[in-house]
A and B are shown apart, each in its own frame.
Chain A
Amino acid sequence: MSYQEKKNVVSLLSTLLIFGFYCSYVFQVHQESTELIDNFRFWGASILILIPVSIVVKIIITIVFNIIYRITTNEIEPSFSDELDKLIELKATRNSHYVFILGFLLSMGSLVIEMPPSTMFIILIFSGLVSEVAGVITQLYLYRRGV
Chain B
Amino acid sequence: MDKLLIRSNVRKLRFEHHEMTQQQLAEKVGVTRQTIVAIEKEKYSPSLELAFRIALVFNSPLEEVFFIGKKEASI
Chain A residues packing against B (C-beta within 8 Å): 2-4, 78, 80, 82-85, 143, 145-147
Q: How many residues from B make CB contacts under 8 Å with A? A: 16
- Contact A146 B34, CB 8 Å, known A83-B46, A83-B47, A83-B50: no
Q: Hey, what's the 0/1 contact readout for B26-43 against A, CB within 8 Å counting as 1?
A: 000011111101100111
Q: Residue of B at shortest CB range from A2?
A: B34
Q: Is B32 in contact with A145, judged by CB distance below 8 angstroms?
A: no
B67 at interface, CB cutoff 8 A: no
Complex CA gap A2/B42 in Å reads 16
- Contact A146 B32, CB 8 Å, known A83-B47, A83-B50: no
Q: Residue of A at shortest CB range from B23?
A: A75
Q: Is A85 in contact with B32, judged by CB distance below 8 angstroms?
A: yes
- Contact A82 B44, CB 8 Å, known A2-B37, A146-B38: no
Residue in contact with B44 in the complex, picked from A4, A78, A84, CB distance below 8 Å: A84
- In the bound complex, residues from chain A placing their C-beta under 8 Å from that of B38 are 84, 146-147
Residue in contact with B30 in the complex, picked from A82, A84, A145, CB distance below 8 Å: A82
Q: Which of A83, A84, A143 has the most CB of B within 10 A?
A: A84
Q: Is A147 in contact with B43, judged by CB distance below 8 angstroms?
A: yes
- In the bound complex, residues from chain B placing their C-beta under 8 Å from that of A4 are 34
